[in-house]
């Protein structure tokens, strides 16, 4: 009985270690943010198109707290707000020429990456109250990528670091 028990205990211990190191791997560096569950179902704050090298289409989504604040123009955003930015490559719709006689329709192609801003004015006091995270294929991007977020978003300090406005 005893050896079997030990084997089981060891197995469950190593399972715990694997689970906790996986949780760390899945968290974005610096800010420790993991993918918020259900973010793809959040409400649309606005949409945007990046030209140049990014050449994408994006939607800016908010959890209930962020969406309400954006909609009511409340600044600063309250703690608990999470703003998501999802994006896809900017692609011509194959059937567009047939429909319009010219390539006129551009739609979402493959997903690129997702970014999040998480408001916690205590935890993230040194970065304007926001934590930042980027995931590529559900895996957090590297530290250098995360070091760049706050510096650029500080340009929008008059809007609590959030560039996009609610699009009515
Ligand atoms: C060089 C400047 C720059 C850097 C670096 C940058 N962003 Fe942004 N970000 C922008 C601009 C400009 C917008 C608004 C236009 C848009 O939606 O594409 C934006 C939009 C966003 C939004 C939607 C909310 C908003 O502010 O409008 C999120 C979320 C976001 N960025 C997260 C991040 C994260 C996370 C990082 C780092 C991994 C990051 N950004 C790095 C410039 C930047």
Domain of 90? 29-159
pLDDT, tens only, 94-131:
999 999 999 999 999 999 999 999 999 999 999 999 99
| Domain membership flag for residue 151 | yes
CA gap 48, 56 in Å, rounded: 8
For the chain, give the mean pLDDT.
90
Q: Give the C-alpha separation, 25 to 42, whole Å.
A: 25
- The CB of 81 under 6 Å from ligand 1? The reply is no
Q: Provide mean pLDDT across the span 53-61.
A: 98
Say whether pLDDT at 17 is over 50.
no
Whether residue 71 is contained in a domain is answered as: yes
Residue 22 belongs to a domain: no
Residue 161 in tokens: 């670091």
Q: Does residue 116 sit within a domain?
A: yes
Instruction: Give dist(CA 166, CA 135) in Å, integer.
Output: 24
Q: Where residue 42 sits, what CATH number does that domain have?
A: 3.50.70.20
Flag whether 19 is in a domain: no
User: For residue 11, is it within any domain?
Assistant: no
Tell whether pTM > 0.75: yes
Asked if 77 and 165 count as a contact pair (C-beta separation under 8 A), the reply is: no
pLDDT surpasses 90 at 50: yes
Q: How many domains does the chain have?
A: 1
> 9 in a domain, yes or no?
no
Q: Does the CB atom of residue 82 touch ligand 1 within 6 A? A: no
pLDDT at 21 over 70: no
Distance CA 86, CA 57 (A): 8
Whether residue 131 lies inside any domain: the answer is yes
- Residue 56 and residue 109: Cα distance in Å, rounded? 9
Residue of the CA atom closest to atom 24 of ligand 1: 162
Distance, in Å, from the CA atom of 1 to the CA atom of 49, rounded to the nearest integer, reads 64
**What is the mean predicted confidence (pLDDT) over 32-45?**
98
Residue bearing the CA closest to ligand 1, atom 30: 115
């Amino acid at each position: 009985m005893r050896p079997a028990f030990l084997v089981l205990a060891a197995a469950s211990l190593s399972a715990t270690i694997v689970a906790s190191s996986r949780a760390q791997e899945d968290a974005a560096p610096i800010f420790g943010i993991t993918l918020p569950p259900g973010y793809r179902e959040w409400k649309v704050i606005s949409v945007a198109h990046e030209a140049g090298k990014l050449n994408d289409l994006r939607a800016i989504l908010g959890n209930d707290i962020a969406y309400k604040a954006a909609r009511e123009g409340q600044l600063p955003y309250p703690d608990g707000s999470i703003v998501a930015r999802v994006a896809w490559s900017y692609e011509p719709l194959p059937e567009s020429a047939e429909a319009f006689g010219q390539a006129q329709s551009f739609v979402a192609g493959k997903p690129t990456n997702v970014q999040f801003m998480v408001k916690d004015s205590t935890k993230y006091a040194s970065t304007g109250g926001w934590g930042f995270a980027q995931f590529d294929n559900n895996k957090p991007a590297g530290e250098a990528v995360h070091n760049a977020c706050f510096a650029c978003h500080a340009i929008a300090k008059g809007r609590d670091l959030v560039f996009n406005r609610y699009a009515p």
